[in-house]
Amino acid sequence: MAEYANIIVDIFNEKLDKTFQYRIPEAMKEKLTLGMQVYVPFGKRNIKGYVVELTDEPEFEVAKIKEIIGIVTDSVPIESQLIALAGWMKKNYGATMNHALKTVIPIKKKSNAVEHKSVRLKLTEIEAKSELAEFERKHQKARVRLLSALIENPQMDQSMITQKLNVSGTVIRALETMGIVEVVSERSYRNPVSHLDSKGYHLTLNEEQQSVVDAIERDLDQKIAKTYLIKGVTGSGKTEVYMELIAHMLAQGKQAIVLIPEIALTFQTVMRFYNRFGDRVSIMNSRLSPGERFDQFERAKNGDVDIMIGPRSALFTPFSKLGLIIIDEEHESSYKSETLPRYHARETAIERARMCGASVVLGSATPSVESYYKAKTGEYELLELKHRVAEKPLPKVEVVDLREELKAGNRSILSVRLQELMEDRLKKGQQMMLFINRRGVAGFVSCRACGHVLKCPHCDVSLSQHVTRQHPEGKMVCHYCGYEIPMPKTCPACGSRYISGFKAGTQKIEMIVKERFPQARVLRMDMDTTRNKEGYEQILSAFANQEADILIGTQMIVKGHDFPNVTLVGVLAADLSLYVSDYHAAERTFQLLTQAAGRAGRGSEPGEVVIQTYQPDHYSVQAAKEQDYEAFYEQEMEYRRMLLYPPVWNMLVILCASKQEQTAYDSAKLLVQEIDTWQENIKAAMERVGEDFKKKRVFPVGPADPAVAKVNDIYKKVIYIKTKDYQTLVELKDRLEHYMRDNRAFKDTVVQFDFNPMSGF
Ligand SMILES: Nc1ncnc2c1ncn2[C@@H]1O[C@H](COP(=O)(O)OP(=O)(O)OP(=O)(O)O)[C@@H](O)[C@H]1O
Ligand SMILES: [Zn+2]
Ligand SMILES: [Zn+2]
């Protein structure tokens, strides 16, 4: 039990790190927990504050530390729960309390806050449609987009229209002048209940969807809170299931958070929620300014909205009647934060739900191995959707061996079979997507003749090419253990000289496609074409409106899109993601291939998929071909078990960064020594009482160079630690944090912890 509590008095102040320390009275010690609101003496007054840290270390002269007066008991503000959640994040992911608080509590910004407005259609549907025809005739695309959206949904958030529909304020004003729409300030019209009545548009669920909904609702009605994993094939109608569950919650006066990866949070998706729930829905995205984010959260706190949809950070929506958290595409690596604290939204959601008695629903066509493992071992409840809606078949998948293409003299990036099918689709006026898998390909080297990839003999991940001053021709390095060999001149497997990195990008493919099919209308989506904020939605809506035959793109194009006219998907370099130097490589590949394939045949015509690869026999390619998740999972688990990777074991990565390479290395080395000492002590202590040390044993590897060993003149070194039990890693992290505190050897080093990382370092 702690002696002192650090208290924040103004939770929304920008300086969350401004805490004041108080002594905890004896009688309060057992009761006081993180996040509680307390009365404290402050200057001449007594004020309320939140407990953000419990500690035994006095921050100043003990005699001068005042005592807490009492605990506020008349109400429990939502902030209390969020602070407790921040404490949990600090503990489990490693960060300062300040970092953790900043993640969960929005900072109040001086009011540059925008007034919430919405846009209403003033015409009848018939009148509106005739105006629409006029805009279409004049090719006024933005006006067409706005008006057709309003015909479906006569009242919409202005921010929705500008952000998701890419219609500018100028266009809205033009239509206002024409008397077609009216801009209203939100509060003046708000009447949630009547509005909801006029909405509620929904499809009738099929039997499979209904049985999943029933299973969850049975629990909800009995106040049983759990975590569910819905494993539903692509196009099985998961979103419809989510909406049904949300409607059920709303009817009970509860609120819901829906996490969707930002890249899948398109206008199309958002409109589905809007059409059903109207203005009870609020949308968040990472482009919101801190002020806008604060506003969104204020509306949620005031009960102006009941459903928050957004990426990772929407998880911290201050709903006080939270009943349900849905995480769509739960396998996505974007749910793991890349900044401190490096939390995973899935685990954090489960913890938040636990705190308030809510349920969590995870959904994916290709669940993460971690989640499926938990579903299999009973930690989550598994529910399945095995069929596409309306009895649409899953697409037919063919695998093309690129080594054979090369042998047969086809040097094009498009295989003969893919070209045939493309020709056919162009004739039929159907659409297609070409997907180039370029996930983390920097540095990997393979043989074009035989497909051989250089791997680390110790870690079974691909080696990466590093070019340095000492090694101008490059060397091959393992990022996990530091193993290295000189860059080979010929392929160690077949002797061919065609050994190099992969270079073709989307731009080059676009050129090749245009040359081969001059009649085709081609759209390209990649980092270049989506740089400005409209780019992404514009390309998607153009493709949805069938303004192009072929969409070429990177992983951006495979996420959850629903284009009914797409009947062909070509995956150009299926295996590239197999070479990413981290243990998720096969899982990522399987997920990308299956999700990409899942874009084909969602409309009335069946779909076909061509996967081009140098490794047709790899299990992740084979399983994607058969769309057999189970087969993939079994193989993958065998690999994870053998090499002691999560979810079977747990992994902690410690990253040491410094301006001097030697300093980064020395710090990492000190940490490894400290880990060894800690391990020795534990071993001795456990053996003394006759306990089995094995379950607490940790295996540190390193210091090693990460994939990107130097960024902006900051050098990085990593240590990898594997162990059976997650809590052991948390204990170890606590110990290292303690060791580093006030230790001068670390004054020029920044140390970060990453538990079960989602990406390589
Ligand atoms: N019960 C239903 N009856 C008719 N159509 C439905 C039904 N449920 C869903 N749909 C439609 O089927 C399509 C696919 O549904 P949805 O996008 O929810 O699938 P999904 O499982 O999320 O797919 P993916 O994982 O591939 O993104 C949508 O166009 C949706 O409107
Ligand atoms: Zn070879
Ligand atoms: Zn290695």
Please write the tens of the pLDDT for every residue from 679-734: 999 899 888 888 888 888 899 988 888 766 666 677 889 999 999 888 999 999 99
Report, as an integer, the average pLDDT of 731-752: 90
pLDDT > 60? residue 191: no
Residue 198 included in any domain:
no
Q: What percent of the chain has pLDDT over 70?
A: 89
Q: Indicate if 229 and 143 belong to the same structural domain.
A: no
pLDDT-based confidence at residue 736 (cuts at 50, 70, 90): very high
Q: Indicate if 597 and 577 belong to the same structural domain.
A: yes
Residue 493 identity (one-letter amino acid) = A
State whether the beta carbon of 560 lies less than 6 angstroms from ligand 1: yes
How far apart, in Å, are the Cα atoms of 177 and each of 163, 170, 173, 182, 529? 22, 11, 6, 9, 33
Report, as an integer, the average pLDDT of 730-756: 90
Instruction: Give pLDDT, residue 195.
Output: 39
pLDDT-based confidence at residue 298 (cuts at 50, 70, 90): confident
Instruction: Give pLDDT, residue 631.
Output: 95
Instruction: Give pLDDT, residue 369.
Output: 95
**Which residue, among 125, 119, 118, 172, has the nearest Cα to 148 in the 3D structure?**
125
Nearest CA to ligand 1 atom 14: 235
Instruction: Give pLDDT, residue 373.
Output: 96
The bound ligand whose nearest atom lies closest to the alpha carbon of 480 is: 3
pLDDT-based confidence at residue 200 (cuts at 50, 70, 90): low
Cα 388 to ligand 3 centre (Å): 42
Q: Indicate if 17 and 155 belong to the same structural domain.
A: no
**Which residue, among 394, 311, 385, 345, has the nearest Cα to 595 in the 3D structure?**
394
The bound ligand whose nearest atom lies closest to the alpha carbon of 455 is: 3
Report, as an integer, the average pLDDT of 424-448: 80
State whether the beta carbon of 209 lies less than 6 angstroms from ligand 1: yes
Lowest-pLDDT range, 12-21, 242-251, 256-265? Answer: 12-21
State whether the beta carbon of 364 lies less than 6 angstroms from ligand 1: no
ipTM computed for the complex: 0.94
Please write the tens of the pLDDT for every residue from 573-603: 767 666 666 788 889 889 988 988 888 888 8
To test ligand 1's pocket by mutation, which of 389, 563, 609 has the most ligand atoms within 8 angstroms of CB? 389
CATH number at residue 94: 3.40.1440.60
Cα 444 to ligand 2 centre (Å): 14
Lowest-pLDDT range, 93-102, 266-275, 542-551? Answer: 266-275
pLDDT > 80? residue 474: no
pLDDT-based confidence at residue 287 (cuts at 50, 70, 90): confident
d(CA 673, CA 278) in angstroms, rounded, equals: 58
Cα 453 to ligand 2 centre (Å): 8
- Sign of the alpha-carbon torsion through 43, 44, 49, 55: positive
**Which residue, among 62, 49, 57, 42, has the nearest Cα to 16 in the 3D structure?**
49
Residue 509 included in any domain:
yes
d(CA 296, CA 304) in angstroms, rounded, equals: 10
Residue 275 included in any domain:
yes
The bound ligand whose nearest atom lies closest to the alpha carbon of 210 is: 1
pLDDT-based confidence at residue 216 (cuts at 50, 70, 90): very high
pLDDT > 80? residue 192: no
Report, as an integer, the average pLDDT of 535-541: 80
Most confident of 55-64, 68-77, 462-471, 666-675: 666-675
pLDDT > 60? residue 441: no
State whether the beta carbon of 392 lies less than 6 angstroms from ligand 1: no
State whether the beta carbon of 386 lies less than 6 angstroms from ligand 1: no
To test ligand 1's pocket by mutation, which of 213, 230, 240, 275 has the most ligand atoms within 8 angstroms of CB? 240
Nearest CA to ligand 1 atom 30: 237
pLDDT-based confidence at residue 422 (cuts at 50, 70, 90): very high
Cα 250 to ligand 2 centre (Å): 59
Instruction: Give pLDDT, residue 438.
Output: 64
Residue 244 included in any domain:
yes
Instruction: Give pLDDT, residue 503.
Output: 55
Nearest CA to ligand 1 atom 16: 237
State whether the beta carbon of 236 lies less than 6 angstroms from ligand 1: yes
Residue 604 included in any domain:
yes
Q: Tell me how many domains the chain contains.
A: 6
Please write the tens of the pLDDT for every residue from 136-170: 888 888 888 889 888 888 888 777 787 667 787 88
Instruction: Give pLDDT, residue 38.
Output: 92
Cα 205 to ligand 1 centre (Å): 10
| Domain residue limits at 454 | 441-504
To test ligand 1's pocket by mutation, which of 239, 540, 594 has the most ligand atoms within 8 angstroms of CB? 239
pLDDT > 60? residue 193: no
Residue 200 included in any domain:
no
More confident residue, 555 or 625: 625
Instruction: Give pLDDT, residue 189.
Output: 32
Cα 484 to ligand 3 centre (Å): 8
Report, as an integer, the average pLDDT of 605-627: 90
d(CA 204, CA 703) in angstroms, rounded, equals: 57
Last residue of a domain, one of 621, 643, 665: 643
pLDDT-based confidence at residue 440 (cuts at 50, 70, 90): very low
Report, as an integer, the average pLDDT of 650-667: 92
CATH number at residue 235: 3.40.50.300
pLDDT-based confidence at residue 382 (cuts at 50, 70, 90): very high
pLDDT > 70? residue 197: no
Cα 566 to ligand 1 centre (Å): 15
The ligand 1 atom at the shortest distance from the C-alpha of residue 206 is 1
H-only helix segments in 627-751: 629-643, 661-688, 726-740
Q: Indicate if 249 and 212 belong to the same structural domain.
A: yes
Q: Indicate if 313 and 449 belong to the same structural domain.
A: no
The ligand 1 atom at the shortest distance from the C-alpha of residue 272 is 31
Lowest-pLDDT range, 20-29, 251-260, 338-347, 597-606? Answer: 597-606
State whether the beta carbon of 622 lies less than 6 angstroms from ligand 1: no
Cβ-proximal residues to 50 (8 Å cutoff; 6+ apart), any chain: 7, 8, 11, 35, 36, 37, 38, 79, 80, 83
State whether the beta carbon of 598 lies less than 6 angstroms from ligand 1: yes
Please write the tens of the pLDDT for every residue from 510-527: 888 999 999 999 998 876
State whether the beta carbon of 367 lies less than 6 angstroms from ligand 1: no
More confident residue, 673 or 19: 673
Report, as an integer, the average pLDDT of 243-247: 96
Instruction: Give pLDDT, residue 188.
Output: 34
Please say whether the beta carbons of 93 and 341 come within 8 A.
Answer: yes
Q: Indicate if 701 and 585 belong to the same structural domain.
A: no
State whether the beta carbon of 524 lies less than 6 angstroms from ligand 1: no
CATH number at residue 736: 3.30.70.600
The bound ligand whose nearest atom lies closest to the alpha carbon of 603 is: 1
Q: Indicate if 655 and 608 belong to the same structural domain.
A: no
3-state SS track over 177-215:
HCCCEEEEEHHHHCCHHHHHHHCCCCCCCCHHHHHHHHH
Instruction: Give pLDDT, residue 467.
Output: 65
Distance of CA 718 to the CA centre of its chain: 23
Cα 244 to ligand 1 centre (Å): 13
Nearest CA to ligand 1 atom 5: 389
Enumerate helices (H) and strands (E) in the chain, giving the number of each: 23, 31
pLDDT-based confidence at residue 385 (cuts at 50, 70, 90): very high
* Average pLDDT over the chain, rounded to an integer: 85
Q: Indicate if 544 and 574 belong to the same structural domain.
A: yes
Q: Indicate if 382 and 413 belong to the same structural domain.
A: no
Please say whether the beta carbons of 751 and 721 come within 8 A.
Answer: no
Q: Indicate if 353 and 233 belong to the same structural domain.
A: yes
Report, as an integer, the average pLDDT of 230-234: 93
Instruction: Give pLDDT, residue 190.
Output: 34
The ligand 1 atom at the shortest distance from the C-alpha of residue 209 is 1
Residue 414 included in any domain:
yes
Last residue of a domain, one of 643, 672, 687: 643
Q: Indicate if 639 and 544 belong to the same structural domain.
A: yes
Report, as an integer, the average pLDDT of 307-314: 93
Q: Indicate if 383 and 286 belong to the same structural domain.
A: yes
Residue 201 included in any domain:
no
Instruction: Give pLDDT, residue 16.
Output: 59
E strand intervals along 440-563: 446-447, 464-466, 475-477, 484-486, 499-500, 522-525, 550-553
pLDDT > 50? residue 111: no
Strand order from edge to edge, sheet including 484-486: 464-466, 475-477, 484-486
pLDDT-based confidence at residue 186 (cuts at 50, 70, 90): low
pLDDT-based confidence at residue 541 (cuts at 50, 70, 90): confident
d(CA 154, CA 45) in angstroms, rounded, equals: 52
